[in-house]
Structure 1
Amino acid sequence: MAQEFSEQHRVVYYDTEVTGEMGIGKLVDMMMLASEDHSDSVGVTTQKVLGLGLGWVITQHLLEVKRLPKTNEVVTVSTKAASYNPYFCYRDFWVEAADGEMLAKMHTVFVLMNQAKRKITRILPELVAPFESEYTKKIERNPLPMAPKQPTASNDYGVRFMDIDSNHHVNNVHYFDWMLDVLGADFLTSHRLKKMNIQYKQEVRYGQVATSEVEIADLTSYHQIKVGQDLSCVAQCEWELR
């Protein structure tokens, strides 16, 4: 059975937005930190993976939010590397309040990238064995997000040096900011995110200009990020009124 890892996090003012609630990007950042700390605890450090000429790349997040953490709240972030097959690793996350209330869950799909060739490579047993994950030949068939058919709003974002992570492309969390920012303040202050399905298609690199487009239909928003004509990311979000 896959081992579980948990750590606490105090939500500080720079984790939150004008609503007093943690931003979606920060929520995912917090989960990714737990994943990294879990990996460090079993000896599968970022330095070890990079030393093999490899890097972990996220291909999809399936996020469910019951309630966002608030300023000064202490939450527990838990994760486990649930299973893997020859080319994909599946990790689960969950965030709980101090009283045990479940605040958010996320299921994430990872692949292993050859840094020199920029191609997906087979999962190395020595990089997954310490997590005691379940091996399966089955490839998950998760639902795919729908892209906007007729975007109703868009914005351009220049990729800065500080947007780039150790894999030498835009850190995945910045996609959340780009996708939600284009919705505008009126929408974001009057709606709460309940679910997000986000799929990463292609890397965005330093110096490029990312275009975020959205189409809103009732309480569902459809997003895509493009660099020129190349599709980099697609997401579908479900909302509720505040």
Structure 2
Amino acid sequence: MPGKKYTEEHKVVYFETNVTGRLNIGNLVDLCMLVSTDQSSKLGISTEKLDLMGYGWIVSQNIIDVKRLPVDHEKIKITTQAESYNRYFCYRDFMMEDEQGEEIVKMHTVFCLMDKEKRKIARIKDEIVGPYEGDYTTKVERLAVPPVLKPEEAEITKKYRVRFMDIDSNQHVNNIHYFDWMLDTLPEEFLRTHEVKQFNIVYKNEVRSGEVVDSLTHFDEERLESIHEIRVGDKVSCTAKVEWQELK
């Protein structure tokens, strides 16, 4: 059976939205991560406790399915549940509901435990995941991954310098900035008239303070699809495939 559920309410505020008045996709992910962190604290596995053990959670993949994005001033409920885990990966689901109880967003996330000193993935420890009551499995989920973006296929490229403010307590770029760097490459008029339908993003390598990233994009407006890649030099840091839908 899947693990314990945990729910928090949230009222969307203007600085979490874009010019369309809808919740930014990066802020959406951050809100979900906050609910996950709060559940961990209530279960006695706080970020501070993990830090004392020399560990921290990192995300390796998010798959976000959107019926519609919440809007400014809207009250929503965010529920999270640890589904299962194996030796190196933890799988967790997030659901957003509107005031009528309708599910408007769902996100499936893959977490890894990082050894902060070695900067490497660590084996999952029972004392860390036990309180969530997720199922143990020997299987590794075979999730869809974004297609490889060849340099010649990228019609749009922008550069961004990583600032001190972009770095979080895990000493690498906070995931929200990958969404900003990727979507900032798309035409403004398109972003004003469309929203995400599905966002499949995979994190591959850390980005550090002071580095310069290249955001590469292949945009197919006719198919309502964009392919993204974040690079530091020749190193791929993050990839994504985004399916879009017209705003209603």
User: Shift in Å at residue 55 of structure 1?
Assistant: 1.1
Matched with 1:225 is: 230
Partner of 1:195: 198
What's 2:6 paired with? Answer: 5
Per-residue Cα deviation, 1:96-153 (whole angstroms, up to 9, x for no partner): 0010111100000011111111111100111100111111111111011113331111
Report the CA distance between 1:7 and its aligned residue: 0.3
Alpha-carbon contact 1:86-1:122 (below 8 Å) kept = yes
Deviation at residue 56 of structure 1 after TM alignment: 0.8
- The answer to whether the aligner puts 1:237 opposite 2:238 as a matched pair is no
Quick one: distance in 1 between partners of 2:126 and 2:213?
Answer: 36
Asked whether 1:140 is paired with 2:177, we answer no
Q: Is contact 1:147–1:223 with CA below 8 Å preserved after alignment?
A: no
The equivalent residue for 2:69 is 68
The one-letter amino acid of 1:209's match is: V
Structure 1 segment 75-154 matched on structure 2, within 5 A = 75-149=76-150, 150-154=153-157
Matched residue type, 1:200: Y
Residue number among 172, 183, 186 corresponding to 1:180 in the alignment: 183
Count the aligned residue pairs: 242
Secondary structure of 1:64's match? strand
- Alpha-carbon distance, 1:184 to partner: 2.8
Kept in 2: contact 1:179–1:225 (CA 8 A): yes
| Distance in 1 between residues matched to 2:89 and 2:103, nearest whole Å | 27
Q: Post-superposition shift, 1:186?
A: 1.5
Aligned to 2:219: 216
Q: Give the Å deviation of 1:65.
A: 0.5
Alpha-carbon displacement from aligned partner over 1:73-104 (angstroms, at most 9, x marks no partner): 00000001111001100010000001011110
- Contact preservation (8 Å) 1:147, 1:235: no
| Contact kept? 1:58, 1:108, Cα under 8 Å | yes
CA offsets, 1:193-227, max 9 Å, x none?
10011001100000101111100122110000000
Residue 127 of structure 2 aligns to a residue in which SS? helix
Q: 1:142 aligns to what SS in structure 2?
A: coil
Q: Give, in angstroms, the shift of residue 13 of structure 1.
A: 0.7
SS at match of 1:141: coil
Structure 1's unaligned 5+ residue stretches are none
Give the alignment's TM-score, normalised by structure 1. 0.98
Residue 166 of structure 1 aligns with which residue? 169
Structure 2 unpaired stretches of 5+ = none
- Could you say what secondary structure the match of 1:95 adopts? strand
Aligned mate of 1:204, from 202, 207, 228: 207
Secondary structure of the residue aligned to 1:43 is: coil
Rounded to whole Å, the distance in 2 between the matches of 1:107 and 1:79 is 10
Aligned residue for 1:35, secondary structure, equals helix
State the distance in 2 between where 1:41 and 1:92 align.
18
Root mean square deviation, CA, Å: 0.9
Structure 2 counterpart of 1:35: 36
**Higher alpha-carbon deviation: 90-99 or 153-162:** 153-162
Letter in 1 for 2:18: E
Report if the CA contact (8 A) 1:194-1:238 is conserved. Answer: yes
Deviations 1:30-80 (A, max 9, x none): 111111111111011001111111111110001101010011100000001
Q: Which runs of 4+ in 1 moved over 3 A?
A: none
The AA in structure 2 aligned to 1:68 is: L
- Aligned counterparts of 1:160 and 1:195: Cα–Cα separation in 2: 28
